[in-house]
């Protein structure tokens, strides 16, 4: 986060800066992207006006508050910012359609499975030897493989024999 503090009609002190920085740390739990934060402190007559502008990665937020006590004004405006960010995060979390094109990302990390396309990670060539169904069962029983691709000796078509969860076998015999 890139933070800028501006003081108008009042003196800047390390205590005010530290207090504000500590309050801004709360924002990190709502966003994971770097943001530009501009905090403007100003004094008008007997009241302090605090404005906070957040911007970056498709996010634009503004909050301001007034109070006679400077620290109370900072607390109030931070509550407003936090409420806006929480509302935005919850709205995006509850949205059922894919997220919009805005690049603001909430801090809650979510995997979007709709964008992943399946791909072939391994390919293997083999010779489908001619076997009878009983020979294929005998070969599959003595092996740790879960399926066997072979050429049927009776029909000369490619068949797949597989082990089922109940201990039996299944046969896939394509028809022409």
Q: Note the pLDDT of residue 166.
A: 87
- Phi/psi at 24 (nearest 5 deg)? -70, -20
Instruction: Judge contact between 51 and 8, C-beta under 8 A.
Output: no
Q: Which fold has domain 2-113?
A: Double Stranded RNA Binding Domain (3.30.160)
Q: Is domain 124-172 annotated with CATH 3.40.1710.10? A: no
Q: Could you give the CA distance from residue 156 to residue 176 in angstroms, rounded to a whole number?
A: 12
Q: Note the pLDDT of residue 113.
A: 53
Provide the greatest CA pair distance for the chain: 100
Q: Encode the chain (176 residues) as per-residue pLDDT tens digits.
A: 788 999 999 998 999 999 999 998 888 777 766 678 899 999 988 899 999 998 887 788 899 999 999 999 999 999 999 998 888 888 877 775 555 545 555 555 455 555 677 888 778 777 788 889 888 888 888 777 888 888 888 888 889 989 888 888 899 988 76
What residue spans define the domains of the chain?
2-113, 124-172
Q: Could you give the CA distance from residue 137 to residue 147 in angstroms, rounded to a whole number?
A: 10
- Per-residue pLDDT reduced to its tens digit, 49-62: 999 998 887 788 89
Considering only CA atoms, give the Rg of the chain: 33
């Amino acid at each position: 986060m890139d933070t800028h503090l501006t003081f108008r009609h009042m003196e800047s002190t390390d205590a005010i800066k530290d207090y504000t920085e500590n309050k801004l740390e709360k924002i990190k739990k709502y966003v994971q992207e770097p943001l530009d934060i501009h905090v403007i402190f100003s004094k008008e007559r007997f009241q302090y006006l605090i404005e906070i502008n957040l911007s970056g990665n498709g996010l634009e937020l503004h909050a301001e508050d007034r109070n006679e006590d400077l620290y109370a004004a900072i607390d109030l405006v931070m509550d407003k910012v936090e409420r806006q960010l929480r509302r935005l995060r919850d709205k995006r979390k509850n949205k059922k359609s894919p997220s919009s094109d805005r690049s603001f990302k909430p801090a809650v990390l979510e995997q979007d499975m709709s964008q992943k396309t399946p791909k072939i990670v391994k390919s293997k060539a083999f010779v489908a030897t001619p076997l009878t169904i009983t020979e294929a069962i005998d070969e599959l029983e003595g092996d740790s493989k879960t399926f066997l691709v072979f050429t049927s000796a009776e029909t000369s078509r490619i068949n797949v024999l597989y082990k089922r969860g109940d201990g039996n076998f299944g046969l896939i015999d394509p028809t022409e």
